[in-house]
Amino acid sequence: MIEKTFPIAEKLLIHGHKATGKLFELLKAEAEQLGRAADPDVISRIAAEKKEMVAELDQFTRQFGQVLATEQLGVGGDGVKNYLVKAKAAGLSVLEAWNLWRQIVAVSRQCKAINEQNGASIALLSRHTQRSLQILRGKSPLAATYGPDGSTRSELFSHALISV
């Protein structure tokens, strides 16, 4: 049976490799934009493209999961490794498939790290923007501080720049 599913698996791995690489490039472009005065239109375009790539990778995962299920293997990294071992045992050339899988895993890890950094940057920029708007609107947030006895208390920590 693996002789029939292996060509499908190879095509899926090629597609998954391309999609993972594209997602990585988009995340790097997003990081560059966030590191300077970001253009909101560019960030929105990148976000839309990232959403498309994530959908493609989700489809890749589902389809490869079906191949693994056909071979009665578990879904996930171990399932893929077991699949490739089984294909090699059946006499199939799996070198390219192994290389593609390793690259998908490595680039996915890089994507995760960059995505977490980008998320932190976006959160920081959002907090800065909210704080700036609060100052301009004359609405200062309350700061929770600790008093000498260890109890918390709230105080206004700034005054409005402009009151409208």
Backbone dihedral angles phi then psi of residue 152, each to the nearest 5 degrees: -85, 150
Kindly report, residue by residue over 2-58, the tens digit of the pLDDT.
999 999 999 999 999 999 999 999 999 999 998 887 788 898 899 999 999 999 999
Q: How far is CA 38 from the centre of its chain?
A: 19
If 0-12 CB within 10 Å is exposed, 13-18 middle and 19+ buried, where does residue 23 land?
buried
**∠ CA 31-56-62 to the nearest 5 degrees?**
130
The owner of tokens 């290389």 is: 99
Mean pLDDT of the chain: 86
pLDDT at 147: 63
Kindly report, residue by residue over 97-110, the tens digit of the pLDDT.
999 999 999 999 99
pLDDT at 60: 96
Q: Is 153 helix (H, G, I), strand (E, B) or coil?
A: strand
Domains of the chain by residue range:
2-156
pLDDT at 132: 75
If 0-12 CB within 10 Å is exposed, 13-18 middle and 19+ buried, where does residue 46 land?
buried
**Rounded to whole angstroms, how far apart are CA atoms 46 and 60?**
21
CATH class of 2-156: mainly alpha
